[in-house]
């Protein structure tokens, strides 16, 4: 009788230890799973509620251009022109941070909902595993296998060592230990402050993957970014609107004169260009593809599509551009008087009308 009682107590102790260890090992995995799912939900909320994120990259770029014009910060423009992917990423990050700070209550509700859903899923796995083992007179290994199978995509399972699973026979008791431990753990996680930095990092990754896994080739004349939605897309690069070449620092060889030509306008002409600073061979703009290399990969439609936004930009930041490139809009590159009539409001309106 004494031996049976000792075996029962030892088995119960082992079962309790196993259940408590299981809960302690699951806690970080549960937390990670809930944060990951919350980040997915929050990213979806951002794409639904933030105007810049509601559509495709062209819509995002339109909002970026609006923000740049509203802020009138030349350093931001410089980054956007010369390091567009870097600027897009920073813009997305800033929007995400602003949303996370302004919507803490909504995020907490989403977090708690995901925590509740995962708890229900784990409790159901405990019930199913216990029922299966009791029906088949199985052991602890069978219980653990049945328990982990439906959760394998949500949680990471690590081996529980230093516990003799052969001593575990009361699986109803194990079920109670795990569900009670889970209830206590979930309450603590629910009441704890949400770590926004964990959500921010994952949400930003989701958003940048959505908007930035695309083509970032830049026009060899004006540095406008290709609108291709795939990184290594078939066919040629293209953009709906090009810019004045002087924006990227293009100048007339042998002079200090920046260019004012728009790619789409000059591509109709017999004017010529050097493909790089070392080349001694000139190529007609209307036959720009014959210059080979990157020029052959672009489709620049010869028309008169000159977005007023960039005309306003050149006039507004003429001095900044001239200082940046140590050249002037003068001589053959003098800014047309017609450009100077555009206001910031005209620039913003042109974005709404054409993009």
Residues in the chain predicted with pLDDT less than 70, given as ranges, are: 1-12, 159-167
Nearest to 80 by CA among 70, 65, 96: 65
Q: Considering only the C-alpha atoms of the chain, give the largest distance between any 2 of them, rounded to a whole number of Å.
A: 109
**C-beta separation of 242 from 224 below 8 A:** yes
The pLDDT of residue 101: 93
The pLDDT of residue 336: 97
The pLDDT of residue 161: 54
Nearest to 220 by CA among 270, 303, 279: 279
| pTM of the shown model | 0.86
Nearest to 259 by CA among 275, 272, 248, 274: 248
The pLDDT of residue 8: 37
Domains of the chain, residue spans: 2-209, 245-354
The pLDDT of residue 233: 92
The pLDDT of residue 197: 85
Could you read off the pLDDT of 126-171 as tens digits, one per residue? 999 999 999 998 888 899 899 999 999 999 887 665 555 566 788 9
The pLDDT of residue 181: 94
Measured CA to CA in angstroms, residue 32 lies from 2, 60, 114, 195 at distances of 46, 30, 11, 11
């Amino acid at each position: 009788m004494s031996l049976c009682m000792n075996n029962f107590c030892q088995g119960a102790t082992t079962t309790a230890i196993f259940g408590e260890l299981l809960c302690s090992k699951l806690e970080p995995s549960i937390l990670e799973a809930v944060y990951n799912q919350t980040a997915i939900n929050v990213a979806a909320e951002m794409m639904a509620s933030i105007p810049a994120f509601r559509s495709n990259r062209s819509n995002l770029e339109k909002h970026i251009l609006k923000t740049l014009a509203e802020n009138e910060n030349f350093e931001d423009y410089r980054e956007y022109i010369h390091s567009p992917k870097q600027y897009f990423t920073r813009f997305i990050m800033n929007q995400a941070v602003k949303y996370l700070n302004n919507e803490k209550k909504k995020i907490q509700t989403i977090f708690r909902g995901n925590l509740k859903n995962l708890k229900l899923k784990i409790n159901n796995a405990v019930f199913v595993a216990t029922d299966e083992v009791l029906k088949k007179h199985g052991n602890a290994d069978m219980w653990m296998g049945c328990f982990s199978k439906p959760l394998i995509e949500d949680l990471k399972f690590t081996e529980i060592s230093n516990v003799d699973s052969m001593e575990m026979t009361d699986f109803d008791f194990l079920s109670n230990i795990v569900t009670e431990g889970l209830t206590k753990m979930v309450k603590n996680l629910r009441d704890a402050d949400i770590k926004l930095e964990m959500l921010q990092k994952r949400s930003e990754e989701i958003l940048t993957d959505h908007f930035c896994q695309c083509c970032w080739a830049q026009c060899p004349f004006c540095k406008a970014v290709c609108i291709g939605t795939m990184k290594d897309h078939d066919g040629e690069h293209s953009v709906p609107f090009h810019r004045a070449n002087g924006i990227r620092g293009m100048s007339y060889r042998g002079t200090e004169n920046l260019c004012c030509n728009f790619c789409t306008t000059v591509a109709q002409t017999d004017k010529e260009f050097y493909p790089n600073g070392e080349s001694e061979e000139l190529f007609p703009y209307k036959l720009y593809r014959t210059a080979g290399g990157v020029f052959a990969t672009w489709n620049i439609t010869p028309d008169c599509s000159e977005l007023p936004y960039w005309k306003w930009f050149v006039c507004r930041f003429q001095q900044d551009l001239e200082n940046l490139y140590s050249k002037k809009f003068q001589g053959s590159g003098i800014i047309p008087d017609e450009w100077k009539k555009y206001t910031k409001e005209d620039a913003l309106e042109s974005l709404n009308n054409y993009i």
